[in-house]
């Protein structure tokens, strides 16, 4: 499970990095938009007011007004032609629609453009660094000049219209002096017609206040807030989106893992209910994928073992029936035997049946032990030639009428002879079963040959019997399978010997096969396995 946690941890770390980068980029882009809108709000009303003032003036008056406003604001103002600015697309369309255009121009400067409604298409342009006292004072003076054209009682109405038409980005009001929160010095200066800049309570805004001479009105502009590049609500929004993305990523990672584990659980439940063919889809090479592969392998092993067990039970019941029936018949005949010689004959027959039963039980136990899993194999160095000759010496006397020969093939390297690594007891059993099978079906001759190469070893057992039909060779190593059941009943055997051979060679990492013997004409059984064994942990 370690790789799963590493994968989730890596995904979370990658998500954190991506979310952090996305948050910084989002904050940068949002601040660019906010900065553009902030600068536009500060400059829009003042420049639209100046542009409208310039419309009815002739060229001389316009130059005089621009000079005066430049001195009041402390920034250079000029009239330029639209074509000389080289603007295209959205910016040009905004100026054509008499909107204010604000463009960055350096670290703290911005260029402000607005169209003056004149036949020659002039553009009022100026550079503004920040909302200074001079700029605020100039805006106040222009507003007061505009209001003096109207009666005192109508001035609040006309101010509201001007603010609405020029689209000021901040509040502008006419108030009474007592309605404005100022200290004594500021109140005195306002009463004298001076312009006062008052800081907000938190120091993040300013108000521009000026008294209109010969009227009871006080013109208040603001509060004008300083742009905060890290507003709490924006940071909270970015944090909420980031946490949502992290949570979504974690949910997707965990939900996918949970879905795969649920499929494992469902397959295990189906196997528990008896559906042994249930399998899990193997996806990926992580721990869950390897777990799914191990689960499928386990399910296949369980299914195979249960099938072997069922087959073994059916075969055992069938194999036991004949010797048990013969024993019962022998007991009945002993009871009715008239002479000691007859009773002795039946007793010898019953003893043979008991030996047959003992052999059957031994083979079944050996086969079951080999089928259930790898037995405790203790590999030892042994000489294959000596083992083959020992088996031949033990089995050949069972049918003296059959000639058994033992031949050594190629030995590479020659100086190492036929030394190999194997489990002596089980390999002896496999060779014994093969030779016994060959003797059972041979007519007059059996040949056993072996050869050892640098990394492989092989044993061939051939006979001159009837051989094995090609269509039955694949099934020959299955338990309780007989090529000719009636012939086997006569020659003996239970159909487990070759199955045991196959399992023993399988646990040695090799393979058992059967073919036609070119030399003798009967069957040729071949065992091939690695010369050196790797101990499985």
* DSSP string over 299-329: HHHHHHHHHHHHHHHHHHHHHHHHHHHHHHH
Q: What is the dihedral of CA 81, 84, 89, 92, to 10 degrees?
A: -20
Q: What pLDDT digit, counting tens, does each position of 88-106 carry? A: 777 777 777 767 777 766 5
Q: Is the pLDDT of residue 1 over 60?
A: no
The pLDDT value recorded for residue 8 is 62
The pLDDT value recorded for residue 533 is 80
Q: What pLDDT digit, counting tens, does each position of 242-277 carry? A: 888 888 877 777 787 788 888 888 888 888 888 888
Taking the CB of residue 490, how many other CB atoms lie within 10 A of it? Answer: 9
Fill in the DSSP letter of residue 537. Answer: -
Which of 181-190, 297-306, 428-437 shows the highest mean pLDDT?
428-437
Instruction: Determine the Cα–Cα distance for residues 462 and 227; give it in Å rounded to an integer.
Output: 99
Instruction: Determine the Cα–Cα distance for residues 463 and 450; give it in Å rounded to an integer.
Output: 15
Instruction: Determine the Cα–Cα distance for residues 213 and 325; give it in Å rounded to an integer.
Output: 137
Q: Is the pLDDT of residue 459 over 90?
A: yes
Question: φ and ψ at 508, to 5 degrees?
Answer: -90, 5
H-run or E-run covering 345: helix 340-372
> Omega into 413 within 30° of 0, i.e. cis?
yes
> Model confidence at 487, in pLDDT bands (50, 70, 90)?
very low
Domains in the chain: boundaries: 1-129, 131-229, 378-530
Q: Of 147, 154, 281, 166, whose CA–CA distance to 219 is shortest?
A: 147
The pLDDT value recorded for residue 458 is 92
H-run or E-run covering 340: helix 340-372
**Strand 195-199 vs strand 205-211: parallel, antiparallel, or unpaired?**
antiparallel
Q: Is the pLDDT of residue 331 over 70?
A: yes
The pLDDT value recorded for residue 448 is 92
* DSSP string over 70-102: HHHHTS-EEEEEGGGGT--HHHHHHHHTT-EEE
The pLDDT value recorded for residue 446 is 92
Residue predicted with more confidence, 535 or 59: 59
> Omega into 99 within 30° of 0, i.e. cis?
no
For 321, the token pair is: 């029936």
Report the CATH number of the 378-530 domain: 3.30.565.10
**Residues across the chain:** 537
* DSSP string over 348-382: HHHHHHHHHHHHHHHHHHHHHHHHHS------EEE
- Quote the pTM value: 0.46
Q: Is the pLDDT of residue 490 over 60?
A: no
The predicted model gives 43-69 an average pLDDT of 82
Q: Is the pLDDT of residue 48 over 50?
A: yes
Least confident of 279-288, 321-330, 482-491: 482-491
The pLDDT value recorded for residue 481 is 62
> Model confidence at 484, in pLDDT bands (50, 70, 90)?
low
The pLDDT value recorded for residue 316 is 65
The pLDDT value recorded for residue 525 is 92
Residue predicted with more confidence, 150 or 376: 150
The predicted model gives 120-133 an average pLDDT of 69
Residue predicted with more confidence, 441 or 489: 441
Residue predicted with more confidence, 367 or 350: 350
User: What's the distance, CA 320 to chain centroid?
Assistant: 56
Q: Within 13 Å, how many C-alpha atoms sit on residue 483's CB side?
A: 19
Instruction: Return the exposure string of 255-278: e unless at least 16 CB atoms fall within 10 Å of the residue's CB, then b.
Output: eebeebeebeeebeeebeeeebeb
Residue predicted with more confidence, 133 or 107: 133
The pLDDT value recorded for residue 262 is 85
For 191, the token pair is: 């009463």
The pLDDT value recorded for residue 120 is 65
The pLDDT value recorded for residue 489 is 41
The pLDDT value recorded for residue 118 is 61
The distance in angstroms from the start CA to the end CA of the chain is 21
Catalytic residues, which ones? Answer: 318
Strands, sheet with 205-211, edge to edge from the N-terminal-most edge strand: 172-175, 218-225, 205-211, 195-199
* DSSP string over 502-529: HHHHHHTT-EEEEEE-TTTSSEEEEEEE
Q: Of 138, 148, 118, 143, whose CA–CA distance to 51 is shortest?
A: 118
Q: Is the pLDDT of residue 280 over 80?
A: yes
**Residue 140: CB partners within 8 Å, gap ≥ 6?**
195, 208, 210, 219, 221
Given CA atoms 352, 353, 358, 362 in this order, what sign does their dihedral have? positive
Per the DSSP assignment, residues forming a β-bridge with 206 are 199, 224
> Model confidence at 117, in pLDDT bands (50, 70, 90)?
low
Percent of the chain with pLDDT strictly greater than 90: 4
How does the average pLDDT of the chain come out, rounded?
Answer: 79
Least confident of 23-27, 181-185, 201-205: 201-205
The predicted model gives 358-366 an average pLDDT of 72
Q: Is the pLDDT of residue 11 over 90?
A: no
């Amino acid at each position: 499970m370690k790789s799963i946690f590493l994968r989730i941890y890596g995904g979370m770390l990658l998500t954190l990095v991506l979310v952090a980068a996305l948050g910084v980029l989002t904050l940068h882009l949002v601040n660019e938009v906010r900065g553009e809108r902030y600068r536009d709000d500060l400059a829009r009303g003042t420049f639209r007011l100046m542009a409208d003032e310039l419309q009815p003036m002739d060229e001389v008056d316009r130059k005089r007004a621009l000079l005066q406003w430049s001195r009041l604001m402390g920034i250079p103002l000029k009239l330029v032609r639209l074509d000389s600015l080289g603007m295209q697309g959205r910016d040009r369309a905004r100026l054509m629609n008499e909107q204010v255009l604000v463009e960055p121009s350096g670290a703290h400067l911005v260029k402000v453009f607005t169209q003056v409604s004149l036949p020659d298409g002039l553009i009022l342009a100026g550079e503004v660094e920040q909302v200074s006292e001079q700029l605020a004072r100039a805006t106040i003076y222009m507003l007061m000049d505009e209001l003096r054209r109207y009666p005192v009682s109508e001035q609040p109405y006309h101010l509201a219209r001007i603010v609405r038409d020029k689209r000021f980005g901040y509040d502008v009001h006419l108030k009474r002096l007592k309605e404005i929160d100022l200290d004594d010095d500021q109140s005195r200066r306002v009463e004298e017609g001076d312009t006062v800049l008052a800081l907000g309570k938190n120091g993040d805004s300013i108000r521009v206040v000026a008294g209109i001479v010969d009227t009871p009105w006080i013109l208040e502009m603001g509060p004008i807030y300083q742009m905060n590049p890290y507003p709490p609500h924006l940071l909270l929004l970015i944090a909420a989106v980031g946490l949502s993305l992290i949570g979504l990523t974690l949910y997707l990672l965990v939900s996918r893992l949970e879905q795969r584990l649920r499929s494992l659980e469902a397959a295990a439940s189906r196997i528990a209910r008896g559906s042994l063919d249930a399998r899990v889809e193997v996806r990926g090479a992580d721990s869950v994928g390897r777990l799914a592969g191990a689960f499928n392998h386990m399910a296949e092993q369980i299914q195979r073992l249960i099938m072997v067990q069922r087959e073994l039970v059916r075969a055992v019941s069938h194999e036991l029936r004949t010797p048990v029936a013969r024993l019962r018949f022998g007991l009945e005949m002993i009871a009715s035997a008239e002479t000691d010689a007859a009773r002795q004959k039946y007793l010898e027959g019953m003893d043979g049946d008991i030996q047959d039963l003992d052999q059957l039980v031994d083979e079944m136990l050996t086969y079951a032990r080999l089928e259930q899993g790898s037995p405790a194999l203790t590999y030892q160095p042994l000489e294959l030639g000596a083992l083959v000759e020992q088996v031949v010496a033990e089995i050949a006397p069972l049918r003296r009428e059959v000639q058994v020969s033992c031949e050594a093939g190629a030995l590479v390297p020659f100086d190492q002879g036929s030394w190999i690594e194997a489990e002596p007891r089980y390999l002896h059993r496999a060779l014994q079963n093969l030779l016994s099978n060959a003797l059972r079906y041979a007519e007059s001759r059996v040949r056993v040959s072996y050869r050892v190469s640098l990394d492989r070893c092989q044993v061939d057992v051939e006979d001159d019997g009837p051989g094995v039909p090609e269509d039955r060779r694949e099934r020959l190593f299955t338990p309780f399978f007989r090529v000719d059941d009636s012939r086997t009943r006569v020659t003996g055997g239970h159909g487990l010997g070759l199955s045991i051979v196959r399992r023993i060679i399988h646990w040695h990492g090799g393979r058992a096969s059967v073919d036609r013997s070119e030399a003798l004409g009967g069957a040729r059984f071949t065992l091939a396995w690695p010369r050196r064994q790797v101990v499985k942990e």
